[in-house]
């Protein structure tokens, strides 16, 4: 019996394959039981693995080990930063009720920000973006200049997970420092793929997630400056600087640290490989006709784009139809963030960038990693023309049925 052919996996922005270094680190940590808070030999061994992992992550992200707080993933890190800093800042001064986010944040930021507005008395300020998804620093400057005393926290992502646009984080952080407002960045799409130096960035807090750079799912960290107050969301035990209580998952921390070490070590070579594939894939998709490339990659100067993301809109198509047709032919991609997959709505990121509803709904994200190759791009090239033709035909048929066949 023949072995089924592996699909062309082009959804690495959702989750990457576990790298060998992470697997080995986790297997070693699993070899013996031990709670890292226990005082006996097995506990001390677990604590040593945990702290060595913390030190490794700190080195790779330009942070102090004491600034690395282990969490269950990016969503928890984002929630802890936004809710925790907001609560601490407002406790110090009740006037600090404004939460500032960009219009293209992941829902792990947008949803807790909305929760703070609905349940915790926050005023939500949303920064606009341009047609490439770049946040308006001018709008932030105007907001802070008019009433910085009311701002509790600012959160702007390092790079967008859907269209790949890299944000001007250094400028955002400088503005926050100038007005004395802590700035958090969701760097989940960027860590392991772009150079990150937490100390140099000027940020107060930064989130990462292990499964975006070859680590295990369900792992993450919040980098938090020692002098930034943050009210914990979880209580009981006082783990992680008394900011994130709960017995630490030592094997997961070791796996995430090993994966990040491998990603940073090989980043330049991996990025060169991925960019070459990305550019070829973009050309394959554009050749279909009626295709718009979105985000920074669609601009003549793509220097401020993540290396592995190609986000495109197909005229006359529904993204969900394209996705399923491609999946049937062995090509796996996405219509946007995996956290909102299956939701019949246009991406808030694309709408914020000014795309109309039809264009936004006809979009796909292809995301590559170092373990992709030219065969994966060829797999797309072999089927994309037929898939788009079928999706457009289905769209025309659907439009005709809605209008009773009238033109």
Q: Is the pLDDT of residue 122 over 80?
A: yes
Band (pLDDT 50/70/90 cuts) for residue 226 is very high
Taking the C-alpha atoms of residue 359 and residue 354, their distance in angstroms, rounded to an integer, is 10
Three-class secondary structure of residue 40 per DSSP:
coil
Segment 97-126 shows an average pLDDT of 98
Q: Does pTM surpass 0.75?
A: yes
Rounded to the nearest 5°, which phi and psi values hold at 120?
A: -125, 20
Query: What pLDDT does 403 receive?
Result: 43
Tens digits of per-residue pLDDT, 348-380?
999 999 999 999 999 999 999 999 999 999 999
Taking the C-alpha atoms of residue 166 and residue 152, their distance in angstroms, rounded to an integer, is 24
Question: Which of 230, 317, 333, 339 is flagged as catalytic?
Answer: 339
State the average pLDDT for the chain: 93
Residue 403 has which token pair? Answer: 């209008």
Q: Is the pLDDT of residue 160 over 90?
A: yes
Band (pLDDT 50/70/90 cuts) for residue 266 is very high
Tens digits of per-residue pLDDT, 127-144?
999 999 999 999 999 999
Give the angle subtended at the CA of 63 by the CAs of 162 and 108, to the nearest 5°: 30
Segment 168-189 shows an average pLDDT of 98
Rounded to the nearest 5°, which phi and psi values hold at 292?
A: -115, 130
Q: Is the pLDDT of residue 388 over 90?
A: yes
Query: What pLDDT does 337 receive?
Result: 56
Q: Which CATH class is domain 20-264?
A: alpha beta
**In 10 A of CB 233, how many CB atoms?**
16
Q: Is the pLDDT of residue 61 over 90?
A: yes
339 among known catalytic residues: yes
Least confidently predicted of 36-40, 183-187, 338-342, 399-403: 399-403
Query: What pLDDT does 394 receive?
Result: 84
Burial level of 245, CB count in 10 A (0-12/13-18/19+)?
Answer: middle
Q: Is the pLDDT of residue 342 over 60?
A: no
Band (pLDDT 50/70/90 cuts) for residue 34 is very high
Architecture of domain 267-399 in this structure? Alpha-Beta Complex (3.90)
**Domains 20-264 and 267-399 equal at CATH topology level:** no
- Residues 6 or more apart whose Cβ sits within 8 Å of residue 337: 14, 106, 107, 161, 162, 347
Domain ranges of the chain: 20-264, 267-399
Query: What pLDDT does 302 receive?
Result: 57
Query: What pLDDT does 132 receive?
Result: 95
Give the angle subtended at the CA of 253 by the CAs of 252 and 254, to the nearest 5°: 90
Q: Is the pLDDT of residue 396 over 70?
A: no
């Amino acid at each position: 019996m023949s072995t089924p052919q592996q699909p062309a996996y082009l959804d690495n922005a959702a989750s990457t394959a576990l790298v060998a270094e992470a697997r080995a680190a986790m297997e070693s940590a699993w070899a013996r039981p031990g709670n890292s808070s226990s005082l006996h030999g097995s506990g001390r061994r677990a604590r040593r693995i945990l702290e060595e992992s913390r030190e490794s992550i700190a080195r790779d992200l330009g942070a102090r080990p004491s600034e690395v707080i282990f969490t269950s993933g990016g969503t928890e890190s984002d929630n802890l930063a936004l809710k925790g800093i907001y609560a601490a800042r407002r406790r110090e001064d009740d006037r600090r009720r404004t939460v500032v986010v960009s219009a293209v944040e992941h829902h792990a930021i947008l949803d807790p920000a909305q929760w703070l507005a609905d349940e915790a008395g926050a005023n939500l300020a949303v920064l606009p973006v341009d047609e490439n998804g770049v946040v308006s620093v001018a709008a932030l400057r105007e907001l802070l200049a008019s009433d910085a005393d009311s701002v509790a926290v600012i959160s702007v992502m390092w790079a967008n997970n859907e269209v790949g646009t890299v944000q001007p984080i250094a400028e955002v952080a400088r503005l926050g420092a100038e007005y004395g407002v802590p700035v958090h960045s969701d760097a989940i799409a960027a860590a392991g793929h772009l150079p990150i130096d937490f100390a140099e960035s000027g940020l107060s807090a930064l989130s990462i997630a292990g499964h975006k750079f070859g680590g295990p799912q369900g792992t993450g960290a919040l980098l938090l400056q020692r002098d930034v107050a943050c009210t914990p969301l979880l209580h009981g035990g006082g783990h992680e600087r008394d900011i994130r209580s709960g017995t630490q998952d030592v094997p997961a921390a070791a796996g995430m640290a090993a994966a990040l070490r491998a990603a940073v070590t090989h980043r330049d070579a991996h990025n060169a490989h991925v960019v070459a594939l990305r550019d070829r894939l973009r050309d394959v998709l554009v050749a279909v006709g009626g295709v718009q490339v979105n985000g920074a990659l669609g601009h003549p100067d793509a220097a401020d784009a993540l290396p592995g993301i190609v986000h495109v809109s197909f005229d006359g198509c529904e993204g969900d139809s394209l996705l399923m047709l491609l999946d049937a032919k062995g090509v796996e991609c996405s219509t946007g963030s995996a956290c909102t997959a299956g939701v019949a709505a246009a991406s808030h990121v694309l709408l914020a960038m000014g795309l109309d509803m039809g264009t936004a709904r006809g979009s796909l994200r292809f995301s590559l990693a170092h373990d992709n190759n030219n065969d994966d791009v060829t797999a797309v090239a072999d089927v994309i023309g037929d898939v788009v033709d079928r999706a457009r035909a289905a769209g025309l048929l659907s439009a005709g049925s809605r209008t009773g066949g009238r033109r």
